[in-house]
């Protein structure tokens, strides 16, 4: 069994013109059941080392606290360079443990200005729902093409109460409705984490999507006032993320029932511009 964690960053519901949150990202880390404990222990060791041997009580890794300008929560007042190095060391852990990542970024302004007539059981102008539907496509493709005939996936989501009914509707539609050939038959179960403090893979996924969102905001020219060192930091983080994503361009839906959905996704996708690694000297 392979576990696929999903967390989001930049969620503003159905609001598409929020200048503070122009990019939405959904995604996370995937891990085999045999590798969960080893990764959890390695992550705990890095957190323990950062805090000098004692992790704060009730600690939970939140990317926004870790990477805010002055640090927040347990990172409040900590040196920014030290916090940045810590974030990158955690992202490197993904590569060291050979875990894969999966994510999709959406440009909300593009969504507001692009029409889509695809016949799907949700509002395609709601970033979370469009991204969730695509993540089912991507994960099913990855398991089928990369992991072997007997492999199966479980998707674990960070709970989003406002979208629960839609999530369940999309899940049912993708697994059980339409022609059998096009169903997401490699995904056998969906679950919700009860307590993210007890689920470090959700915390790791939070860091991944937060850093990806920040970089894609820069690439979308939404952060022209950011200093060069901040842009480079998020480019470095995204480079670590990008190397663990198996398929950079969106997977097309294997069905004639929704011919517009793949074109729409490509039109509204947030993505790096041109030879971005060269621009950042990576």
Check whether 196 has a pLDDT greater than 70: no
Q: Which residue has the tokens 């880390």?
A: 29
pLDDT in tens, 34-90: 778 899 999 999 999 999 999 999 899 999 999 999 999 999 999 999 999 999 999
Check whether 3 has a pLDDT greater than 80: yes
Query: 214 and 64 in contact (C-beta within 8 Å)?
Result: no
**What's the burial of 126, exposed, middle or buried (CB within 10 Å: 0-12/13-18/19+)?**
buried
Q: Take residue 85 and report the two structure tokens written for it.
A: 């190095």
Check whether 259 has a pLDDT greater than 70: no
Check whether 257 has a pLDDT greater than 80: no
Alpha-carbon span 160 to 12, nearest angstrom: 12
Query: 92 and 240 in contact (C-beta within 8 Å)?
Result: yes
Check whether 206 has a pLDDT greater than 90: yes
- Strands 23-32 and 2-9 turn out to be antiparallel
Query: Which pLDDT band holds residue 194 (cuts at 50, 70, 90)?
Result: low
Query: 217 and 101 in contact (C-beta within 8 Å)?
Result: no
pLDDT for 119 equals 85
Query: 35 and 28 in contact (C-beta within 8 Å)?
Result: no
Q: Which helix (H) or strand (E) holds 138?
A: helix 127-146
Query: 152 and 190 in contact (C-beta within 8 Å)?
Result: no
Of 8-12, 117-121, 162-166, 245-249, give the lowest mean pLDDT range: 117-121
Check whether 22 has a pLDDT greater than 90: yes
Alpha-carbon span 90 to 236, nearest angstrom: 13
Torsion of the alpha carbons at 203, 31, 126 and 221, rounded to the nearest 10:
70
CA distances from 154 to 107, 133, 192, 241 (A): 27, 15, 11, 21
pLDDT for 195 equals 61
- The residue among 159, 177, 169 whose CA lies nearest residue 133 is 169
Query: If you average pLDDT over every residue of the chain, what do you get?
Result: 92
Check whether 143 has a pLDDT greater than 90: yes
pLDDT for 41 equals 93
Check whether 198 has a pLDDT greater than 70: no
Check whether 189 has a pLDDT greater than 90: no
* Mean pLDDT in residue range 223-252: 95
Q: Is the pTM of this model over 0.85?
A: yes
Please give the domain boundaries of the chain with CATH numbers for all domains.
2-279 (3.30.420.10)
CA distances from 195 to 26, 113, 203, 239 (A): 19, 37, 11, 30
């Amino acid at each position: 069994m392979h576990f696929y964690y999903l967390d989001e960053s930049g969620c503003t519901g159905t609001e598409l013109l929020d200048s503070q949150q122009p990019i939405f990202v959904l995604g996370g880390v995937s891990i085999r059941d045999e590798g969960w404990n080893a990764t959890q222990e390695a992550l705990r060791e890095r957190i323990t080392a950062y805090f000098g041997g004692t992790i704060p009580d009730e600690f939970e890794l939140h990317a926004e606290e870790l990477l805010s300008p002055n640090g927040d929560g347990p990172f409040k007042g900590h040196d920014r360079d030290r916090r940045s190095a810590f974030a990158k060391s955690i992202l490197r852990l993904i590569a060291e443990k050979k875990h894969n990542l999966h994510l999709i970024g959406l440009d909300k302004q593009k969504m507001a200005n692009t029409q889509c007539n695809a016949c799907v059981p949700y509002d395609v102008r709601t970033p979370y729902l469009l991204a969730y539907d695509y993540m089912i496509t991507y994960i099913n493709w990855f398991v089928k093409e990369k992991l072997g005939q007997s492999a199966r996936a479980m998707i674990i989501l960070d709970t989003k109460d406002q979208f629960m009914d839609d999530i369940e509707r999309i899940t049912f539609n993708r697994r059980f409705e339409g022609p059998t050939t096009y169903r997401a038959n490699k995904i056998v179960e969906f679950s919700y984490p009860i307590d993210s403090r007890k689920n470090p893979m959700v915390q790791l996924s939070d860091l991944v999507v937060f850093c990806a969102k920040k970089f894609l905001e820069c690439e979308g020219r939404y952060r022209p006032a950011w200093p060069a060192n901040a842009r480079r930091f998020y480019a470095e983080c995204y480079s670590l993320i990008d190397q663990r994503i198996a398929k950079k361009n969106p997977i097309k839906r294997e069905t004639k029932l929704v011919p517009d959905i793949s074109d729409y996704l490509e039109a509204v996708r947030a993505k790096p511009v041109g030879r971005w690694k060269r621009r950042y000297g990576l």
